[in-house]
Structure formats: structure tokens, C-alpha cells
Structure 1
Amino acid sequence: MFHKIIKNIFHFAGNILRKAKIAYLRGMGVKIGKNTNISLRAKIDTRRGKIEIGDNCYITYGCIILSHDMAAKRINPNDDGSGRVIIEDNVYIAVNSVILRNVRIGRNSIIGACSVITKDVPPDVVVVGNPQKIIRYLEKR
């Protein structure tokens, strides 16, 4: 009984903290759609560039979403390093995945665990790995 009460308290506190994180990210300019869940341990870049996350997305533990590249200016002096990340509706990004700048992830797609996304992902696919690879095409909903 006591264990169940403690579990419910932590679950409730976690929900409040996740909502607070989403409110903070929105305040920093990240566009986040309805019913989107972002793990407390996910890192979303708020420094430069633009990030848009659609409705009904799930970004899990340890994910990193970057809209900038600090090394870009060293490679190309005309590149300030800022970019854009667009995650369309109904996207699931699994644990410890990294999404780099100038990427669009199509709706209803799944990004597998520990994947590194450097190029656009089409809608309705499962992508895994580093470098990213499409392993399955999903039926359109």
C-alpha cells in the first residue's frame, strides 16, 4: 500500500515537471504541438535556430535535438551555424537519439534507439542507425 502511494506521488510530480519543461521550451521559442510528450532527460536546443515539434509526438529519454552547429563557421565562414529542425505530427523518437540541424522528420515516422539523424526523414517510415537507414515503410493512416 505504502509503495503504491509513493509511486503515485512520483508519477504526479513527473507529470507536473514534464508540463513545466514544455512551458519553458515554448517560452524559449520552441513550437510544440498538442499532446506532445518530452522526457525530462531529453535535451532540446534553445540557443539558435528554430525547432518545431508537431502534435502527438513522443521524445524519449536521452534524446538530443540540435538546431545549431558550433563547428559550422570554422568549416564555412559564411555559415553562422544556425538551422531548423521540424518534427511533424505523430513522430516517436526513441531513447538516446540525436537529431541534427536542418532536418525534417515526416509525420507518423519512428526513429529507433541511438539513431543519428542528419538528413530529412520521409513520412511513414521507421529509421534506425548511424548513418540513418530506413528499415520499414509503414502503412499510411
Structure 2
Amino acid sequence: MKTEKEKMLAGELYNPLDKELSDDRLRTRLLLKELNDTREDKEEERSRIIEDLIPNANEGLWLQPPFYCDYGTNMVVGEKVFFNFNCVVLDVAQVTIGSRTLLGPNVQIYTATHPMNHKERASGLEFSKPISIGEDVWVGGSAIICPGVSIGNRSVIGAGSVVTKDIPAGVFAAGNPCKVIRHLDQDE
């Protein structure tokens, strides 16, 4: 029989109030409190906290506090990724972010979702869909990335966009819902 955590990571309906998951989120909240309270000149302390918070991050991850996430352990982050102020990552499922990707202030990445059927939703169970953001992507401020979305390498997502469907590589996409505006030249 699967644990609630195994169900969560498999994208199946799971109970978010499960003790193991609640304990994991509490650990994360305490690390986030530490991170968000660090002074700007305490780089070594921030680095230590980030290593504990997001163990699957590569070199050069920059999180500009405040930053928020559900678990941190379900994030896989490439090299030299930048999160500007006030980003939120609901990493109930895996969130993969490629190297050199830039996320503007207030970007929100949501893998968590709920059943459309009101009876299932009333049960308190939820599920998740993984998100993948490629390399060299720029996500403008206040964009929202919805569950199950992939964004291709080198793409740019306009500020305030709501990304509800996959975005291919090498495009500028914007709007609500987000759609491809134009293809980018290789030199752009």
C-alpha cells in the first residue's frame, strides 16, 4: 500500500493532512522563516539554509527573500537560477527549472491542484501535476505557471501571464491565458 507521500509524488489523490507530509511542510516552513529573516550580508548563512531547503539545486542558485515553497525537496534546479522577491513554488509534484533561468518578482509556480468534481474536492483530497521550465527561460514578474505545464528552452513569458498550457522553445508568450506572440531569433 502506498503512503500519502508516494501518492502525492505519483500525481494521485492524496491526503495533504497526513502526518509525514505535515511534518515535512513544518520543516520547510521553519527553514523558510530562517531564510526570509536573514540579513542581506549573511551570504554563507543563506547558502546553508538554501542547501537544506532545496537539496537538488545546482551551483549559483539565488533566492531573493522573501521566498516560499511547500517542500523544497521536490524542486530540481539548474545552475545560476534566479528567483526575485516574493516567489512562490507549490512543489507538491516535481518542479524542474533549467540552468540560467530568471524568475521575476511574485512569480508563482503551482503543481498542486484539486479535483473538478465537487464531491471529490469536499473529501479534502488533492493531487498534483509536475512542472518543467527549460534552460535560459525568463519568466516576467507576477506570472503564474499552472499545474502540468512545460516551458521550452530560451522562451520568455511576459509579466502577468497565466500559463495554462505548454509553451514551446524559443518563443515570446504572454497573456491570460498565455499564448505564443512570436518566435524569437537565435540572437535575441
> TM-score normalised by the shorter chain: which range applies?
0.7 to 0.9
Query: 1:54 and 1:75, CA in 2 relative to 1: closer, same or farther beyond 3 A?
Result: farther
Query: 1:80 and 1:11, CA in 2 relative to 1: closer, same or farther beyond 3 A?
Result: closer
Per-residue CA deviations over 1:27-54 (Å, capped at 9, x if unaligned) read 52200000111124100113x2111001
User: Is 1:74 matched with 2:117?
Assistant: yes
Give the Å deviation of 1:17: 4.5
SS of residue matched to 1:139: coil
Q: Distance in 2 between matches of 1:73 and 1:88?
A: 29
Q: CA RMSD in A?
A: 2.8
Q: How many residues align?
A: 130
Out of 63, 67, 74, the position equivalent to 2:107 is 63
Query: 1:74 and 1:136, CA in 2 relative to 1: closer, same or farther beyond 3 A?
Result: same
Q: Distance in 2 between matches of 1:25 and 1:60?
A: 19
TM-score by length of 1: 0.78
Give the Å deviation of 1:84: 0.6
User: Is 1:24 matched with 2:53?
Assistant: yes
SS of residue matched to 1:127: strand
User: What aligned pairs does 1:2-13 form with structure 2 within 5 A after superposition?
Assistant: 12-13=41-42
Q: Is the Cα contact below 8 Å between 1:18 and 1:39 reproduced in 2?
A: no
Structure 1 gap ranges (5+): 1-9
Q: Distance in 2 between matches of 1:66 and 1:83?
A: 9
**Percent of paired sites with the same residue:** 23
Decide which moves more: 126-135 or 25-34: 25-34
Structure 2 gap ranges (5+): 1-38, 56-71
4+ residue runs over 4 A deviation: 10-23
SS of residue matched to 1:130: coil
Corresponding position of 2:32: none
Per-residue CA deviations over 1:54-86 (Å, capped at 9, x if unaligned) read 10001111010001113x253695x94210100
